[in-house]
Amino acid sequence: MKKIAESVLAAVKKDQAAIRNSMCMKSGDVEIYPASVHKLGDAAVMMGRDSEKRFLLVVADSAKALPAGFAGDQIALADGGVALVGALDAANAAALRKHFPWCAPKSLRNVKTTVGCGDRLGLATPGHLAAAVKFQVSPVIAQQSMRELSMTKRTFRSVVDDAVFGVFRSDYQLGFGADGDHLKTIPDIDVAHEAGMPKITLDLSEVMNAAAGDWEQSKVDAAFAEMPAEFRKRIEGDYFDKEFVTGSCSVKIDAGTARRCAVMYTAALEFAVKVYNHLRSKRGDEFDLEISIDETTSPTLPSHHLYIVRELRRSGVEFSSLAPRFIGEFQKAIDYIGDLAEFDRQFKVHAQIAKTYGNYKVSVHSGSDKFAVYPTVGRETGGYLHLKTAGTSWLVAVTVIAQHDPALYRKMHKKALASFNDMLKLYHITADITRIADVDTLPDSELVKLMDMPEARQLLHITYGPILTSELREEFFKAMHKLEKEYDAAVEKHFDKHLSLLGVPKR
């Protein structure tokens, strides 16, 4: 460490490029990430790693020249110089955001193509960014739901901080987002915003009357009749037996459908207005609001989509994206299940509605690994979309473990099997895990092939929480530290495939 710090000190008065070119990047088991070296006054700030951990290194020509805010242990260098070695903790993440503003997440509400990079480990950012920098896309690097936080024992603050360190390490200065995903209450939204997340995905599943989608029409009509007379009169005038032209498509809403939409969505839309006004009071216009109506058992019909957005616009709600529940199955970890021709037909209408009513982004949830529908999604939206991924970078980690540490993979696989039934209470999948071979009967070389098997992918996908909070946690993260370069390359390759099939242009 000291040898590296002394080499930085010798060059610290030079410009940033000269420091990177002249300093020692490796000494023993200590290695500096070259792209992370940044000049800051008469100091240089960078990230590095040794055999056990990653760290922040600050080198200055005097203690007085150390930039404010960084915390860690100090090492005396020649000629009065000083090095500070700090942990990747909240204090140092805050210092990076202060001194390098591009390390802070920002609103992406006016960006054409965005992709949510759910990272359950806090390790995937360099790989995500290595892919993103090649395409005309803005990544939402920090993205987690309350469910994911509870399963991994993380916080919104730690998720954002992990993203900050990954962005700094990669010298990614093009801007990135952070998303409090599938939030349902204002207190949870406030926690996410206080942690620096400018995007909120508002999940309306618990305030909408989704069950009314399956009611007999007579029951719907009776419930509608109990709503205020003035409201009923407006809905009748605005929607009953009307046809709405949306680009090259049209959407018809008959009286029964209008009544059903009113019964299903009115309370949810009123809550969305409340949340929007709350966000504006907190952040002005510096936030992204995504409306999520995808957490239901029934697909969002185009007529329902149109009703929802017209009502939101009428109430003055500005949202950057909306996530319908598309036809077919968007199950975790595997490709699309369903009639592709019908998906194409309906998705085109959803995209035309979005273009007509404010040109917001169509958001595709559970979007990772849905390679069959990506060409349609990219084409019909003209690239004006948000793709939300989550567990796929975790599965890339599992794959890397299977390739390089088969003994650990076997332990993880068995933990997954023991936890599977409990996790089915939280995730909807249809995998028949009895089709998966007993891992004790497979040679080491065959284990990685399990990650090409839909049933095994889904098994490992939904059991990340029990694995990451078990006795395997320390062994897993030690292995991931050792396999960092392999993981970075695998994540990059996987996301290259996502963005290429979506048709995102190269930079």
Tokens of 368: 């990772």
Contact 202, 163 (CB under 8 A): no
Tens of pLDDT along the chain (507 residues) come to 999 999 999 999 999 999 999 999 999 999 999 999 999 999 999 999 999 999 999 999 999 999 999 999 999 999 999 999 999 999 999 999 999 999 999 999 999 999 999 999 999 999 999 999 999 999 999 999 999 999 999 999 999 999 999 999 999 999 999 999 999 999 999 999 999 999 999 999 999 999 999 999 999 999 999 999 999 999 999 999 999 999 999 999 999 999 999 999 999 999 999 999 999 999 998 899 999 999 888 899 999 999 999 999 999 999 999 999 999 999 999 999 999 999 999 999 999 999 999 999 999 999 999 999 999 999 999 999 999 998 899 999 999 999 999 999 999 999 999 999 999 999 999 999 999 999 999 999 999 999 999 999 999 999 999 999 999 999 999 999 999 999 999 999 999 999 999 999 999
* Calpha distance 468→416 (Å, rounded): 11
Please give the positions annotated as active site: 181, 290
Looking at the whole model, is its pTM more than 0.85? Answer: yes
Going by their DSSP bridges, the two strands 82-86 and 73-76 should be labelled as antiparallel
Tokens of 477: 């993260």
Size of the chain, expressed as the number of residues it contains: 507
Burial of 79 (0-12, 13-18, 19+ CB in 10 A): exposed
Q: At what angle do helices 406-423 and 454-462 cross, to 10 degrees?
A: 80
- Res 297: pLDDT: 82
- Res 358: pLDDT: 92
Strand ranges inside 155-212, DSSP E: 177-183, 199-203
Contacts of 329 (CB under 8 A, 6+ apart): 336, 337, 338, 430
Transcribe 394-459 into DSSP letters.
HHHHHHHHHHH-HHHHHHHHHHHHHHHHHHTTT------GGGSPPGGGS-HHHHGGGGGSHHHHHH
Q: Write b or e for each residue in 327-366: b if 16 or more Cβ atoms lie within 10 A of its Cβ, otherwise e.
A: bbebbbbbebeeeeeebeebbbbbbbbbbbbeebbbbbbb
- Res 340: pLDDT: 97
